[in-house]
Structure 1
């Protein structure tokens, strides 16, 4: 039935008793209606057990392929299981684009949306904010279609797979555009705020070796003037680089100001390459945009602890949205992302210290990464947590899509 037994990173072995790959929506509906416990698995890029179940594990890649463009509406309706990179190639061929993409084009649309996954840019919202409609199979096997006119919609987009099996997603599209990507080395940390506002999408990478940003990746519209070589006290990279030391630069998207289409520049990594072997753990915390300088400073104070267990740390900014469980709900955000070494014992005490130091900034965890925040803390930083819990109880009263980790952060009682 060719359904994964482990997640991409290999740190989670799925506990499912049965695995399925339905070939039609009707088959999926019958499967859901007959199951006591069921979860949908996408491309497996989650690092925690929100998607783990002891019941039925289902892949939707066998459902009919869908890419339906509605130019009058400025939207495209796609299969939930389609990867962003595959969708982007087909959209670009039609002169269309998505406003934003994540660093990996290898992830599925439904999975990325469900966890609030994002790209970067002061003016760019996360990927879920582009969702204009959803089709999903609910716990009783019914097919439910919702859009922005539905009062529940803002609670159903970033939903952790807890409300049903998402079969189709409608996304806003824009005209295709070109991007140039420039990389700068050794940026002073004091220049970060200005740097993030300088281009369409900006990512800052540090290996925690010093008080400077090791690499700054600026993805600017092709018609924007190129930066000077000594921009903001940094130096221009003279050859392509990969954000993780020792990894081949050819796996990364084109740099040095070479113009190219949006879908070949906004991600950090090329679709045709595996970005890494998955030999890693990841954590990420979303903080108020205004906390950037203070949050970076408090983490820099422990860089001697961070450096040995960090492959790379990335900072990005994300614009606010209205989605209930989005890490960017109602506030502009700076996201602090850690790619750790694949050693849980070594990472755990450092992760605990990171969470302790970021606590004053009301961090919201990325739902698909490793975090250990107390459920009361997570509920406190999501103002619509209670509303989502009500929605969860209404749409899945028997807990068909629940997991142990969902129960921990969204208790039944």
Structure 2
């Protein structure tokens, strides 16, 4: 699951949070046995040229558009043949919308500017959920042509998403889908499909019921629901069974004692270690200026007061090791802005202008900058 409003992905087991990863700007798409697939949409800019044979501009992607979070921990960047412009999924595969060669250009005189507009070939690549590639090549997996503008179920009708995509549970050959019939009806529609059947084995309409979450096992579905019962709004755990037309109210959750199942809040963000690895990977060994050499990055200390130390040599300070100490969290433990996005520019400008403390401030050959 991805923590709402964050870039933190957590793997949850019956024992609680197993581990967490920093998503590096991507968002959870879906998950399979090989891990969680996370996607960052690529903005494909219009390419207009003065002639029909002008080569396409190089598409620059500063961040990976597709990553795979391993169930045991760690993030793998998945490279692509072509430009990844869209992504979707179903029960068996990840659908990758890719723009690739061959390409053509078509003349357009309006809207301005006039010129030859690039048109790449568009394809959907169907990658099995259990795959774990380091690179996706066009001919390694089933592929189909994609015409027109990119379209995924993310932009489909809201009620379709609720019934068939966004709210669902699968268990032992039975697929459960639920959602409101429309925005104004206040009626919950629940359907159960067996195996690959397109006809529902069970269809229930439950007026006044709103579902927060659901899970399936065997031929049963459990829904954490909010409904109007006994003249007042009630939160309850509901159980539905395929083949039975009446739901069963197991317990009202308002009075449910869950204290024995609660766990204390972790002393640090669950993805702290993953975030540190991300920052180190982005900065370690990178020359921010031609004057800098032997750049090393490591995290020193503990959350939240530890700092990321970037150590390097400078051509004009050959007798010293220079160290920039970067804070990643504030005093309350809240994560600060991603240092990898602005620190490279700051270190470059500092190196080129020699804006460092006087050499007399060095301690044992180390000058903190």
Which category of TM-score, normalised to the shorter sequence, fits these structures? under 0.3
Of Structure 1 and Structure 2, which has the larger fraction of its residues in strand?
2
**Higher Rg:** 2
The normalised TM-score by structure 1 is 0.21
Higher RCO structure, 1 or 2 (CA under 8 Å, sep 6+) = 1
The normalised TM-score by structure 2 is 0.23
